[in-house]
Structure 1
Amino acid sequence: MTDHVFSETGGAPGAPLVFTFHGTGGDEHQFHDFPRQVLEGAHVISPRGDVSEHGALRYFRRKAEGVYDMDDLWTRAAAMAEFVEAAKARVGATRVVGLGYSNGANILAAVAMRAPHLFTDLALLHPLIPWDPDTQPGLDGARVLVTAGERDPICPAPLTRSFVGWLSAQGAKVDTLWHPGGHEIAQPEVQALAGFLADTPKPA
């Protein structure tokens, strides 16, 4: 199923397509305007999480803090992959960026694990991947930015470092940015994200 609620801003022909994924309690507007501040003319699509946790929007269910409903995660990742695939085909962009924060980073990572061909670039802000992913050779060569807080109580630093190691082992080109705080998005992360988006890859 591909009937996600989403916000969309059309872009210039040939411009990058950016998907943004909000954190728990956010919505499709949380990051929607940011990509075009960095990439003039970008096409931006921001799907809304369709799970409510005590009124807070999320992309998949969890059983407790840091304990995911894995069946629900993979079911919803499959549906999101269909949504991204259809939107990508409709727009026709060759550079496709995924940008996600917290729960949004987690669904984005799960989609990329399932369908790595959908994205050329992944910006994962404070991801939490509390399982050992299977190998995914399709991520070889993907550009990835991971940002995190050294004292993040929601996304423990050791798990983030383990995930970064997994991405590197798949052949992804990973950059990381750490700040000394917690789960909040710090200004250095914003700067790193802007630089990552603006650094248009050169053709091979």
Structure 2
Amino acid sequence: MDNNRLAALVLILTAFLGCAGLAEARDSSLCAQKDPTGLAAGAKPEPCPEAKGEPATASAAQPVLRHDAAATTPVIAGPITHARHFVYRLLRPEAPSTETIVLLHGSGGDEASLFKLALRVAPDATLLGVRGRIVQKGIKRWYARITPTEFDQADIRKEAKAFVDFLKSRMAAEKLDLEHTVFIGYSNGANLIAAVSLLYPGLIERAVLLRAMPVLTKAPETDLRRVRFLTVSGEKDRIYAPFAPVLEALLRNRGATVDARQVAAGHLLGDEDVKVVSDWLSAADMMAGDTKQ
């Protein structure tokens, strides 16, 4: 009788865990499915680009509204590798708008991790998802980390320059306009966007920084008066939320327009983030239209 009960309990737990993993299993790479998101009517992924020394397909089962897998790890140590090239995915609708969204994942994510979020906030935009070149203790990142809030300064600058060079080349090759581009980054990726804005002024004009913090110990005195930022912190994000006001003040002190929001969440992204970003993009588009008139 006890054995029967134990077997029944195992079956129940197995079924529960299978259901819990279903959301991740549905979100596999663009190379694996014709429409991995199920959200982009008419959107077609372009052929998966080969990058020398890198696999042609993204890793499977990467959730889009995801937790930064390494955010709460006390210390990341161990081997660090730098890929030679950036891996990316381009998703271009059949009838695209003039807008492009460049997507930078969080720690442990990849080039496809933010596609679902982007498709919900801007379904007609062309999407360019890029993967960071760093792998640190098996975790994909944008630059080397010492602790959750301390970072390798030389590596940040090295990877920022490499990303800028890649971006300019890729945007030109795809005939995409940087003046009609929004950057959306999550956690580690958002931090790189902020760093690039400070190190290479004039490149980024609109950016969404989700769960971000300042990572440059000596930020240059850059003129950011033409740049608009949306920052979204999580009220329950114990590690990064306390740094959000510091980043916002840093960007404002350089002249940027910063719309700072906080959602009732932790480091995990969710539906409230989608709404905040969608509303901000719509308002930004309206303001851009008024300016042109």
TM-score (norm. length: structure 1): 0.89
Partner of 2:212: 127
SS at match of 2:115: coil
Work out whether residues 103 and 184 of structure 2, in 8 Å CA contact, stay in contact via their aligned partners in 1: yes
Pairing partner for 1:78 from 149, 161, 180: 161
Q: Is residue 8 of structure 1 aligned with residue 90 of structure 2? A: yes
Quickly say closer, same or farther: Cα 1:31–1:37, change in 2 above 3 A: same
Pairing partner for 1:48 from 124, 127, 131: 131
Query: How many residues get paired?
Result: 202
> How many angstroms does 1:117 deviate by?
1.7
Partner of 2:11: none
Letter in 2 for 1:184: L
Partner of 2:118: 35
- Unpaired stretches in structure 1, ≥5 consecutive residues: none
Distance 2:264 2:101 in 1: 28
Residues 16-44 of structure 1 deviation map (CA, whole Å, 9 limit, x = unaligned): 11100011011111112432333343111
SS at match of 1:124: strand
Distance 1:2 1:92 in 2: 24
Partner of 1:99: 184
- Unpaired stretches in structure 2, ≥5 consecutive residues: 1-82
Pairing partner for 2:236 from 142, 151, 166: 151
Distance 1:148 1:21 in 2: 17
Quickly say closer, same or farther: Cα 1:170–1:2, change in 2 above 3 A: farther
Work out whether residues 191 and 214 of structure 2, in 8 Å CA contact, stay in contact via their aligned partners in 1: yes
After the TM superposition, list the runs of 4 or more consecutive aligned residues in structure 1 that deviate by more than 3 angstroms: 11-14
SS at match of 1:10: strand
Letter in 2 for 1:5: V
Distance 1:171 1:181 in 2: 29
Pairing partner for 1:168 from 240, 252, 259: 252
> How many angstroms does 1:182 deviate by?
2.3
Q: Is residue 68 of structure 1 aligned with residue 68 of structure 2? A: no
Work out whether residues 145 and 196 of structure 1, in 8 Å CA contact, stay in contact via their aligned partners in 2: yes
Higher relative contact order (CA 8 A, sep 6+): 1
> How many angstroms does 1:14 deviate by?
6.0
Q: Percent identity?
A: 26
TM-score (norm. length: structure 2): 0.63
Partner of 1:88: 171
Distance 1:13 1:149 in 2: 32
Distance 1:13 1:151 in 2: 37
> How many angstroms does 1:150 deviate by?
2.9
Distance 1:168 1:30 in 2: 29
